[in-house]
Chain A
Amino acid sequence: MYTFSNRLKIGSFILMAVGLIGIAIGFISAPATVEEAKAMVASHGEGHGSDHGDGHAVPGETEGEVHMDEAGKAHPTVGMGAEVDHGNALAHEQEHEMSHDEHLLHQLQNRPWSALYVAALFFFFIALGVLAFYAIQRAAQAGWSPLLFRVMEGITAYLVPGGIIVFVILLLSVLHLNHIFVWMDPEVVAHDELLQGKQGYLNPTFFLIRAAIFLGGWIFYREYSRKLSLAQDEANDNTNFVKNFKWSAAFLVFYLVTESIMSWDWIMSVDPHWFSTLFGWYVFASMFVSGITVIAMVVIYLKSRGYLPDVNDSHLHDLAKFMFGISIFWTYLWFAQFMLIWYADIPEEVTYFVTRIDDYKLPFFGMIVMNFIFPILVLMNSDYKRVNWFVVMAGIIILAGHYLDVFNMIMPATVGDQWYIGIPEISSILFFMGLFTFWIFRAMATVPLQPKRNPFIEESRHFHY
């Protein structure tokens, strides 16, 4: 039986408190008026001008530069022909400058919201990725992993608070407290034929209904499977185990569909004109590898505290193999998406990457180094996959890289070139890290860390690759 160490508990509370303060500072320091926003950018631009998006405070765009219109959709002005719905750029120069300033205000106001949303999504995705991994182990009746089931169940416990927080953020967006989702603004839709065409699907009510169904389904499976898993320990036969197997297989079907739609809804729709058909898979790969990494790190932590005595090197080796493999899978999907769009060079598609390469060069390419090149070099050697500190170090880089991945998905559409990893972003990470740590270890402390009567527990105990 695991006892939640006081030091870890206090640590997670400190993280939450510091995070909350930082989040509050982020919201308070967001500008309230256009003038404030312009002043902020003017002073900010001098300090960080070389870091990113130089000259973003200058209203008159140069040829070919990407800027954002009031719909929040990035598109190049000249040479790519995406300015169809705005007609002649010169004639609208005056009007445009006005809307540009207002847009800047929205971007700066969005920043604390987006920072909160990115961190909330990232930590929620970890739990969701673990849930998928767990369901796969159940459905495959894997023999190696039952020793780790309690750890996985502990991590998926975060689905409830994490899901509620994400849902509240979505609800506040629907209530127009922020501008993360431009398509929720009726005024924007009124001037945008594409969004009008998508209204049957992309409308606030249906959006929230879908979110509720997805979250409800995932949380239901998690709670029910956990119940069956605990009941199996006390049972005299394997009916709970068989039931769990059937529910897990059914859940995977549900998950595959809902995860994909979720990624369109919660992430892709921040760029409502843009779409990519493999986006769901790409998001899945990201959450999957983050989830597996967290399982490995939690297992290493618990083992270092003397728990999980039966978990051996081979279990860790297998988790590290998954970290390695899914990192490559993520890269494969990332590149599959990038290359087709890059090669075809269709204006309405390629804007997605133009914005990211122009304004987000460091996080965009840095993420590929962290999520692909680093894990492939560090985790390739079979022996290194058994060295705890190697796995932890690789895990930290992978997690940071996948935070950046979510960051790159949301930020370009919501804050544009006004991004920075500062107080709002880091505080949001700290807050959710604290909450996540507190919640998962609390859940792990409620039941014995090792399942007793799982039919495969003996096989798992003797697992040797």
Chain B
Amino acid sequence: MASKVIQAFYTDDDVLMHAVKRVRAAKHHIEEVYTPFPVHGLDKAMGLAPTRLAITAFLYGCVGLTVAIVMMNYIMIEDWPQDIGGKPSFSYLENMPAFVPIMFEMTVFFSAHLMVITFYMRSKLWPFKEAENPDLRTTDDHFLMEIELHGNEQELYDLLVDTGAVEINSIEK
């Protein structure tokens, strides 16, 4: 089913922010906004749900911490106990301070890498993926707001012109 969208171009992030707020206030549904750089506060202005990436980061950190503990327990205590610096490693707890840097690093490592991978998957990004942005100028100096069109095209057109759009196209998708 073909749906019609309006693409409005802006040249300034402040103008864009005001436009987003006004378009939303006029009860239009903004599909997507393409920007050349992250615009602070745009997610809130668009009414996007808050990210759950932070929760995954915490969970991944817990996984990393557990992996580090299990790994060091196996390597240093169970598999091949050694006496390093007069501290024979027969107990994980007693040798724990020596493993803290590893526990810390593994927590950060798991948290960071798995979070990035999650982000890529959630954003449907992978190697050799074709760019989705509808206009090349959004990678340079233009901001693009894509709005779903229901009903009165002229009214929306006037509103967008009024918010400072420099170019407005309607496209069949």
Contacts and interface: CB of A to CB of B under 8 A. Distances in A.
Given A380-B58, A382-B54, A345 B85 contact: yes
A339 B58 contact: no
A420 B100 CA distance: 31
Q: Which size bracket describes the interface of A in this complex?
A: 10 to 19
B116 interface: no
Given A380-B58, A382-B54, A345 B97 contact: no
Contacts of B58: 380
B86 A339 contact: no
A343 B98 contact: yes
A378 to B, nearest CB: 13
Contacts of B41: 464
Contacts of A335: 97, 100
A338 interface: yes
Interface string A333-350: 001001100111100000
A344 B97 CA distance: 12
Contacts, number: 19
Contacts of A464: 41
Contacts of B86: 345
| Interface majority SS (helix, strand, loop, mixed), chain B | helix
Interface in B123-151: none
Contacts of A338: 97
Nearest to A381: B54
Interface in B74-120: 85-87, 97-98, 100-101
A339 B54 contact: no
B108 to A, nearest CB: 12
A353 to B, nearest CB: 10
A345 B98 CA distance: 13
B85 A339 contact: no
Interface in A338-393: 338-339, 342-345, 380, 382
Contacts of B97: 335, 338-339, 342-343
B100 A343 contact: no
Nearest to B98: A343
Contacts of B101: 339
B121 to A, nearest CB: 23
A335 B97 CA distance: 9
A166 to B, nearest CB: 33
Nearest to B86: A345
A281 B48 CA distance: 42
A380 B62 CA distance: 13
B54 A343 contact: no
A344 B58 CA distance: 33
Interface of B: 41, 54, 58, 85-87, 97-98, 100-101
19 contacts: A335-B97, A335-B100, A338-B97, A339-B97, A339-B98, A339-B100, A339-B101, A342-B97, A343-B85, A343-B87, A343-B97, A343-B98, A344-B85, A345-B85, A345-B86, A345-B87, A380-B58, A382-B54, A464-B41
Interface of A: 335, 338-339, 342-345, 380, 382, 464
Given A343-B97, A343-B98, A345-B86, 12 more contacts: A335-B97, A335-B100, A338-B97, A339-B98, A339-B100, A339-B101, A343-B87, A344-B85, A345-B85, A380-B58, A382-B54, A464-B41
